[in-house]
A = this chain, B = another copy of it.
């Protein structure tokens, strides 16, 4: 029997358009029966933020990161043509009208299909993000060694 095919995606970007691309590939692959690992690092961690969580004892700079980074999948902006939010809202509107899944919907689908969501330990440390600030469906907080172990078995490896 053939081994299960694997896809490994690093989500570095916190831009709405790139994150949409990452989840469309990830959910598409999972729907085709592939094993999918998505590793969120740097700006990509914004996608995994849970809304309205307050964590005590953060340093000033950690608080600043908290304020400046988008607060979850619903708050991301386009990498281009954002135009102070107008372009982003236009894109969201068109997608809804054309019945293309939104980013929060894609994350739900990813969970249902068993896509593995990993958060990067080092980036969380630098930005002062705690596990409880991330959505529950994050499987594990991991380091680069875990990424490499998974990715070296994957047929498709992407950095987005």
Leading 4 A-B pairs by shortest Cβ distance: A28-B144, A158-B159, A152-B155, A156-B157
Instruction: Please give the residue numbers on chain A whose beta carbons come within 8 Å of chain B beta carbons, in ascending order.
Output: 5, 7-8, 10, 12, 14, 17-18, 21, 24-25, 28-29, 32, 34, 41-43, 61, 64, 68, 80-81, 90-91, 93-95, 98, 100, 122, 125-126, 143-145, 147-148, 151-160
Q: Are B29 and A148 in contact (CB under 8 A)?
A: yes
Q: Are A21 and B41 in contact (CB under 8 A)?
A: yes
- List 20 contacting pairs A-B, 8 Å CB cutoff, sorted by A: A12-B21, A24-B122, A24-B144, A28-B143, A28-B144, A28-B147, A28-B148, A32-B148, A34-B148, A34-B152, A43-B80, A95-B126, A98-B125, A100-B122, A100-B125, A148-B156, A151-B155, A152-B156, A154-B156, A158-B158
Residue of B nearest to A95 (CB): B126
Give A16 to B147 CA distance when docked, in angstroms: 21
Give A151 to B42 CA distance when docked, in angstroms: 25
Q: Are B5 and A12 in contact (CB under 8 A)?
A: no
**Shortest beta-carbon distance, A121 to chain B, in Å?**
11
Given contacts A42-B17, A145-B32, contact A94 B158 (CB under 8 A): no
Residue of B nearest to A91 (CB): B126
Give A7 to B156 CA distance when docked, in angstroms: 11
